[in-house]
């Protein structure tokens, strides 16, 4: 499956597995890549609409997660 934004790379390997850390890393990568605020907000809304597994699946669906 190709992510929605394949050029946005998020390094999660070796990071703290805390949901807030993961959300922050994704948000930072999206902003650094230049995604519009509305797009970043849409990711955050979707990612936080479920449990921890949903957060991870959303990150994988949106970005190139390593």
Q: Report the SS3 class of residue 64.
A: strand
Alpha-carbon distance 66 to 45, whole Å? 22
The domains of the chain are located at: 7-65
Q: What is the biggest distance separating any 2 CA atoms in the chain, rounded to whole angstroms?
A: 29
1 band by pLDDT with thresholds 50, 70 and 90: confident
pLDDT given at position 16: 75
What pTM was computed for the model? 0.91
Taking residues 57-62, what's their average pLDDT? Answer: 96
């Amino acid at each position: 499956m190709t992510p929605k934004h394949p050029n946005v790379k998020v390094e999660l390997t070796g990071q703290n597995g805390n949901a807030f850390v993961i959300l922050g890393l994704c948000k930072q990568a999206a902003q650094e890549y230049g995604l519009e605020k509305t797009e970043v907000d849409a990711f955050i809304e979707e990612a936080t609409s479920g449990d921890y597994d949903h957060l991870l699946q959303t990150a994988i669906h949106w970005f190139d997660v390593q």
